[in-house]
Homo-oligomer: A and B are copies of this chain.
Amino acid sequence: MRTQNYSRKRQAIYELLLSTREHPNAEWIYNNLKSDYPDLSLGTVYRNLKLLEENGSIKSVAVVNGCERYDAMTSPHSHFVCNKCGRVIDVFLKNEFSEFTEKVRVEGAKEIESFSLIYYGLCDKC
């Protein structure tokens, strides 16, 4: 992990991500912090999202309409993405699933580090 000082804005970004189940993108975070941090810049949001991801503090869970979506809940779970409105919803699967995926061997892969399971469809608001 890269050396880091304390940063009030990074902290705010992280806490905002902890407080929501929106799985937001950089711009949503920027807009939601602007009132508390009027001099915040979008570049800072991007920089800190990257830092937090390198940290392991947050994860990128999906790319929806070309935008990276982030989640501060790092315990393993899956997601549902609405094809119409782009909403991202948490999906918690039973143990049988992780048991199943842990057995998977991929020809051509030296080492499997992680996996991502994303469901797509229409959400109940669309």
- Mark A residues whose CB is within 8 Å of B: 63, 80, 82-83, 87, 89, 91, 93, 96-97, 100-101, 104, 106-124, 126
Indicate if the CB atoms of A112 and B121 lie closer than 8 Å.
yes
Partner of A110, one of B93, B106, B111, B126: B126
Q: B116 touching A120 by the CB < 8 A rule?
A: yes
B80 to A112, Cβ gap below 8 A? yes
Cα distance, A111 to B121, chains bound together (Å): 5
Secondary structure call for the A interface: strand
Q: Give how many copies assemble into the complex.
A: 2
* Bound CA–CA A109/B120 (angstroms): 9
Give A105's nearest chain B residue, CB to CB: B91
Residues of chain B with a CB closer than 8 A to A82's CB: 109
Docked complex Cα distance between A121 and B116 (Å) = 12
A87 to B123, CA, bound (A): 32
Complex CA–CA separation, A111 to B91 (angstroms): 14
Residues on the B chain within 8 Å of A111, using CB: 121-122
Given known A-B contacts A89-B109, A109-B89, A114 and B104 have beta carbons under 8 A apart: no
Instruction: Specify which chain B residues have a CB less than 8 angstroms from the CB of A121 in the assembled complex.
Output: 106, 109-114
